[in-house]
Each structure stands twice: as structure tokens, then as C-alpha cells.
Structure 1
Amino acid sequence: MDWDKLRIFHAVADAGSLTHAGDVLHLSQSAVSRQIRALEESLNTTLFHRHARGLILTEQGELLFDATSSMNKRLDAAAARIRDSEEEVFGELRVTTTIGFGTLWLAPRLPHLYEKYPDLNIDLMLEEKVLDLPMREADVAIRMKEPSQADLIRKRLMSVRMRLYATPSYLAKHGTPETQEDLTNHRLICQNLNSEQVGAGATYVQTLLANNVTSMLYVNNYFGVLQAVIHDLGIGVLPDYVIQDFPDMTRVLPDSESAEIPVFLAYPEEMRQSKRISAFRDFVQEEIIAHRKQLSQKENS
């Protein structure tokens, strides 16, 4: 199959228009149209439905577009590896992690990475959905469980536990619970059990709710939970890593916490030699060491 025709087909399918694809490819509309007709003839099929408002892929066109999309991702990965020089770290690095970890722990520390590598561009994709690293939906991931996908290099970074936190001003006004049963007199702020979250977090919330908690605020991510806690709305279920950046927060019921949640960094085997990923991995590990030291100092003070 002609690579040039496939490249043009992909551009047309992506743009939904011969004219727009021509602009991207720096070709005339007629030249693009000829290449698409030639490709359809070689495959003996119709790849697009022609409409006045543009082009729509046929079922056969969808199959081919899936294939060319996969090819493009592989080519992008190869190009990224080629661009990684022996001594410099530059270019785009697509990092995916959860909304909570990304907003509350990772993003506040990125200035340290940019100070060291000013030519590195981070595309931070925060969502609970697990992106497909081998298919190049992202370059590197930080996940709250060990990745199950094949062909990934994975490294355990640290462990997290869900705990209860409130502001001193909230506790001064409403009192400090001494047991889980005392939570019935407080508003509990947490993720809804139907929200995407790690199993240990959901199990912990279920345990707390068994204490006849009547006043609730549900938020679908931990950044929202933290904001509600900061504004004295109640006692929040939050990951323990938030405390480093919010030292005035008070832990409630110190003996109460979730099961251990492992945190893993993962990236495709094919990007083992990537200087960008190596730089990001080392940065995260250095920040975790500093994080542990600060937590240890806080606990011993």
C-alpha cells in the first residue's frame, strides 16, 4: 500500500475535508482528491461518504483510519526517541495521572523540573481513565495501582493512605471527634462511592459512612474535597500527600486510615532510552525523597 496515499488519507479523515487537508499538506484540493480516488481504486472500496458539509468515513474508512492512527502514534514515538539527544532534554512529554495527584502533588512541584530543563514541555493530562501507554496515548503515567498493560517499564514510587483532615478553625467551632462514631456530629467531605477512585479509598469511605454520618458533601475529585475542607465545610477524606503543602491542616482520628495504596510510574519499553522520560523519572524520585524527609520532620516535631 502506498505510504504517501495513506498519509493523505489520514489527513483528509482527520480534517473531514479535502480543502482543509490540502492546506495542512500544502497540496491543491484536486491533488488530494486524485490521491484519495487512487487509494479507493487500489482497495476496491469507498472510504468516504461525500456530503455538502464535508466527508464522513465509511465503515471501511474507519478501519483504515484506525490503522493509520496507530501508525502515526508509532512514528511519533520513533521520532521522539530520535530527537532525544545524548546530552539535552527538550521537546514535549505527555504525562498522565489522576486529578488529585496531578493537581495536589505533581503540578506544584513542576517549577523544579522546568528550572532544570527549560526546553522541556509537559503536557499534563489529568483524568481517572487509564490511558494506553503502548498505543502512545501518553508517554509516561503515574498511577495509584500497578499497571497491568504489557510492554511497560514500571517502578514503585511510594505509598499513599487516605486519612481524615480538617482545619483548626473548623475543629475549634465544631469540636474534635474522638472516635469514628463521633463523625455523626460532623459533615464528612469525600468522593462519591460511584466516582472513579482506588478501591482502598472507596472501602475506607464505606467504613466511615457506617457510623451514621448524616451530613455529607460529595466531590468527584480530591482537589474539590481539599477546597471544601480549607473553607471549613467539614472533615475531609484526603490522601496523606496533601499535608506537605498544607501544614496547617489537622489530622483527625490519627488511628484511622485506609489500606496502603501503591503509586507506580510507568512508561513504554520502547522509550527506555528517552532522555525526557529519564529526566522526569529522576525529578519525581527526588521530589518524593524530599517529601518523605519533610513528612518525617513533621511527625517527629
Structure 2
Amino acid sequence: TRLTSKYPDLLLELVTSPQTVRVARREADLFLSFFKPQGKVLVGECIGRFATRLYASPSYLEKYGIPEGKEDLQRHRFVGYIEELVQLEAVRWLEDFIPSPNLAFASNSMIAQMFAASSGAGIVALPEFALCVNTGLVNVLPALQGYRDVWLSVHQDLANLSRIRVVSRFLKELMTSDEAKLGGRQMWTQNE
């Protein structure tokens, strides 16, 4: 990557977790999240936002039809999260579009949801950045979209370390760079 090429001694470790990482207890140096973390010893800022949209496979749309409006969604099948396993409220992006979806497939994995939808299981709500993987999904009701903010947090004792500043600056720049574009659309937007 650009970052490790410029700083070859920098070791990056990426941990993904459906649970909140406790930066205040130094379980991580930096924490990216879809929500504003709470804590007196945290320094955090919103560094961007991303859109969520509805997607379906052409085979699903051929079989069940293309929804013409939001009110039309009640008659469709959906792919979403298993209610009992949702640990982060911020991933409830399907509920931004339809409060009580008729689920045909549910998983605690966004990747599993994406591939289930691509096989025709139903309509799925995904962040735009997920479509970097070519799954054949097409946007349903393009005028509808939800948003989630992206927060970057660090323990206040670590905020001024050079490695933290370098990675923080890189992540902020990445949010609005050309690399953050998908199909000519900006995936991330910088918050004002």
C-alpha cells in the first residue's frame, strides 16, 4: 500500500469485530466505527460518511419484479442480519428503508448477505463500498439511500505519537481520495 511503502517500518494490524473495541482500555491504537464512541479519555472525530443502498440480483428482479417505490417494498423478500446477533445498532441499515422486512435469508455476516442476494435470495441493504466486489448486484430504487458516519478514535495518551498521526492522516485522506471512488461515484464524503 501507499502507506507501508512510505513508512516501511510501520506494522499495520487490522482487526474486524462486531463488538466495540475498547480504545479507552488500549485494546487498539486506532478505532474506526460507524458510531461515535464514548469515553472521557478518547479523542475522536467524524472523518467521513458513506451511503447505504438497496441492491438485488437481476435474477431476483426478473422473478419478483422491480420495486417502483418505497411502498412497493412490502411485497418483496429481503436479506438481512439475524436480529439476536446484531451487536452494533449502526449496521441496521435495512431498517432505514423498510421497518419490518420480510426476511428470506439472514446472517451475521455482511459478506454472506451480499452473496445470498447475488444468488437471488432477496433485496439487501449494503454500504456502497461493499460493491467493490463484483457480485452482479444492481441498485434498486436509486433515489433511496441511508447514511452512516465514519468515526476515528484514539486514546488521548496515544494521539500525538507519530505512528498514530501518520495512520490517522492517511485514513482521513483516503476518505476523499480517488481510491475511494466506485464506478464514478464518491463512496465516502468528508463531513463539513
Report the TM-score range of the alignment, normalised by the length of the smaller protein: 0.7 to 0.9
| Aligned equivalent of 2:54 | 164
Question: Residue 251 of structure 1: SS of its match in structure 2?
Answer: strand
Q: 1:272 to 1:197 in 2, by over 3 A?
A: closer
Q: Does 1:198 align with 2:89?
A: yes
Partner of 2:13: 123
Larger radius of gyration: 1
Unaligned segments of structure 1, at least 5 residues: 1-110
Alignment correspondent of 1:217? 105
RMSD between superposed Cα atoms in Å: 2.9
Instruction: Normalising by structure 1, report the TM-score.
Output: 0.53
Equivalent positions of 1:21-100 (< 5 A) are none
SS at match of 2:181: helix
Tell me, yes or no, if structure 1 residue 255 matches structure 2 residue 143. yes
2:170 alignment partner in structure 1: 283
Secondary structure at the counterpart of residue 163 of structure 1? strand
1-side partners of 2:70 and 2:174: how far apart?
33
- 1:65-103 CA-to-partner distances (Å, cap 9, x unmatched) read xxxxxxxxxxxxxxxxxxxxxxxxxxxxxxxxxxxxxxx
Residues 165 and 249 in structure 1, CA contact (< 8 A), matched pair in contact too? yes
Tell me how far 1:221 sits from its aligned partner. 2.8
**More helix by proportion, 1 or 2?**
1
Alignment identity in percent?
A: 25
Q: Deviations over 1:162-218 (max 9, x none)?
A: 32112334434443211234334433001133312335x53752762546x3x5211
Distance (Å, rounded) in 2 between the aligned partners of 1:173 and 1:186: 11
1:291, distance to aligned residue in structure 2 (A): 5.6
Q: Which has the higher strand share?
A: 2
How does the TM-score come out when normalised to structure 2? 0.78
Report if aligned partners of 1:139, 1:267 keep a CA contact under 8 Å in 2. Answer: yes
The aligned runs of 1:102-181 (5 Å cut-off) are 111-181=1-71
In the alignment, the residues of structure 2 paired with residue 164 and residue 207 of structure 1 have an alpha-carbon distance, to the nearest angstrom, of 8
Task: Output the amino acid matched with 2:87.
Answer: E
Can you give the 5+ residue segments of structure 2 that lack an aligned partner in the other structure?
Answer: 187-192
Q: Which has the higher contact order (CA 8 A, sep 6+)?
A: 2
Q: CA deviation at 1:133?
A: 1.4
